[in-house]
Amino acid sequence: MKKLFRFFKNYKKDMFASPIFKVFETISEIAIPLLVAQMIDTGVANHDAKFVITYGCIVIALYIVGITASILSQKFAAKAATGIAYDIRKSMYEHINTFSHKELDKFGTASLNNRMTHDIARVQNAIGSFLRIILRSPLILIGSIICAMVIDIKLSLIFIAITPIIVAIVLFTLKITDPLYNKAQKSLDKVSDIARENLQGVRVVRAFNKQADEERRFVVASKNLRKTGIQVTNISSILAPLTTAIINFAIIAIMWFGGLQVNIGSLSQGEIVAFVNYMTQISSALITVSNMIVSLIKAQTCAKRINEVFDTKPSVVETNTQPIEIKKDPLTPKIEFQNVSFAYNDGAKYAIKNLNLKIMPGQTIGIIGGTGSGKSSIINLIPRFYDASQGSVFVDGVNVNNYSFHQLRSKIGLVPQKAVLFKGSLKDNLRWRKQDATMEEIVKAVKISQSEEFVNELDGKYEYKVQSGGKNFSGGQRQRLTIARALVGDPEIVIMDDSASALDFATDAALRKAIKNNIKSTVILVSQRAGTVKNADQIVVLDGGNVVGIGKHADLLKSCPVYKEIYESQTK
């Protein structure tokens, strides 16, 4: 938790005010049993109605003060806890956005989502609980014991005797439950991951009649979570009954020994009532403290998971945030790979090996190869989603490591393999690459992407509301719209990562023709279709991360067996 203290600085006043108001509430609670004892021993015993009314009014006034102080304490505690949680969540989201794809792959979507929601909520609850209890419970314990000692020193020894017993029970319970909380959080991540995976792939699950299998997988993960949760709950549930039992035995002892003292005249009936009230307050305070400690232990586990995210440094670091001047030269390659090798993890097999490639301005380059040959790995190095393990990548003669992320990526219009649209209007989706794009630029991109026909049929056209993920479009429509999004504003480089897989051959051909005739960008076409890349100025053929051929279609048919095999398998 110490690492999260930096988020507390903006809420120091609220964190100070909440326990202070709890002090006023505590003072009123401690004073009331003494006043009630006086009412019984003096007012009721002597039938003095005026005395009873006077002290009764004082008790009511103290109740009002206590309630008011409690409300204000809750308000300031809630303000501090929710504010701190907001700052942690905001900072974590910003930090996650600095991660490269490598760190995102490491944590996984479900785990990051749980850390931003469930774990931070646990920390928030613990902070709010701590602020309300940090002064109240110790004051209740100390104040009640002191007041009891003032009434009768011998009888108050019962209070002192039970305190270390209860503390020992709390500490023993927490020692056992601490590792179980961590195990429970990991089980929750697993359940969330399976649920997310199944909801996203529900069509595939149903297509293959795998509902029963996936249900079994989910049930197994849920049972593991339930088992751990039950273990934690069973152990934690011991606290309250054990504490209550000890307190009840203490109350019986007070009533027994106190009754003897009343019989011999050493104590009054009102003092016995006060003793029982103080014992009840101590009982409540100890149970509250034990619950707070349980909450803090849970929060400590969650804080570790939160700090794991903050402690993870992005592997792709922005070394320059200022724009650099680029001298355009038609003889300088638009993109160049110099002896580039790349592996996704240290010690892993290279996805790309010793790649040397020059792409000149305005060229259309096709990249083709089998599954896992390294096609997507190459294009992920251009916008620095990953950094090359060896060698260098250049754009306009400048190493990509010297660019700011904004300047480098603003040159690129990227169409990913998975066509993703976001909730909002179609026009807002198409303006993702260029926020101030004019309608003329948007309409031009839509025409080039072969989307104009179905867009004009939409209700509201460009104001049409897109559902989350673009679920209200077909696969081919989503692909064409993501292509349009990438083309808005005429980017210098257009990268299409197998982004026509859902298009029929006629639409694919019309799309490539429109791109060639209407934009002057450097275009990289990644595809497993030979027909998509055959008319490119240059075709790069990959096999197992190695470049096995570079050239035009006709030349590769003669010189590259891998390309010839791919082409003939699709055309003959």
Closest CA to 177 of 287, 290, 284: 290
pTM for the model stands at 0.70
CATH class of the domain whose range is 335-571: alpha beta
Q: If one looks up domain 11-311 in CATH, what number appears?
A: 1.20.1560.10
- Asked if pLDDT for residue 200 goes beyond 70, the answer is no
For the stretch 105-138, pLDDT in tens is: 788 777 888 888 888 988 888 888 888 887 777 7
Indicate the SS3 state at residue 425: strand
CA distances from residue 501 to 266, 369, 400, 417, 542 in whole angstroms, order as listed:
94, 14, 29, 9, 19
Residues of the chain with CATH 1.20.1560.10: 11-311
Any residues with CB less than 8 A from the CB of 467 and at least 6 apart, and which? 423
pLDDT score of 87:
92
For the stretch 377-432, pLDDT in tens is: 888 899 888 888 889 999 988 898 888 888 888 888 888 888 888 888 888 888 88
Indicate the SS3 state at residue 345: coil
For the stretch 29-40, pLDDT in tens is: 778 777 777 777
**What distance in Å separates the CA atoms of residue 44 and residue 20, rounded to the nearest whole number?**
35
pLDDT score of 347:
66
Site of tokens 């699950």: 205
**What distance in Å separates the CA atoms of residue 91 and residue 398, rounded to the nearest whole number?**
32
Summarize the confidence of residues 221-232 as an average pLDDT.
80
List beta partners, residue 364. Answer: 523
List beta partners, residue 366. Answer: 525, 539
Closest CA to 62 of 18, 39, 31, 23: 31
Neighbours of 3 (CB within 10 A): 12
Phi, psi of 400 (to 5 degrees): -60, -25
**What distance in Å separates the CA atoms of residue 303 and residue 357, rounded to the nearest whole number?**
47
Judged by average pLDDT, the poorest of 95-104, 119-128, 142-151, 230-239 is 230-239
For the stretch 542-556, pLDDT in tens is: 887 788 888 888 888
CB 497 within 8 A of CB 380: no
- Asked if pLDDT for residue 515 goes beyond 70, the answer is yes
| Structural tokens at position 258 | 């106190």
Q: Name the pLDDT band for 88 (thresholds 50, 70, 90).
A: very high
* CA dihedral of residues 446, 407, 519, 512 (deg, nearest 10): -70
Site of tokens 């794991």: 308
Chain centroid to Cα 468, Å, comes to 19
> With pLDDT > 70 as the criterion, what percentage of the chain qualifies?
95
H/E stretch holding 108 reads: none
Region of 247 (left: φ > 0; alpha: ψ -120 to 50; beta: rest) is alpha
- Asked if pLDDT for residue 231 goes beyond 80, the answer is no
CB 54 within 8 A of CB 291: no
Exposure pattern of 345-369 as b/e (b: 16+ CB <10 Å)? eeeeebbbbebebbbbbebbbbbbb
**What distance in Å separates the CA atoms of residue 17 and residue 23, rounded to the nearest whole number?**
10
CB 383 within 8 A of CB 414: yes
CB 82 within 8 A of CB 121: no
Closest CA to 5 of 93, 132, 135, 123: 123
More confident residue, 124 or 228: 124
Residues of the chain with CATH 3.40.50.300: 335-571
**What distance in Å separates the CA atoms of residue 294 and residue 509, rounded to the nearest whole number?**
64
Summarize the confidence of residues 253-271 as an average pLDDT.
75
DSSP string, 204-271: HHHHTT-HHHHHHHHHHHHHHHHHHHHHHHHHHTTHHHHHHHHHHHHHHHHHHHHHHHHHTTSS-HHH
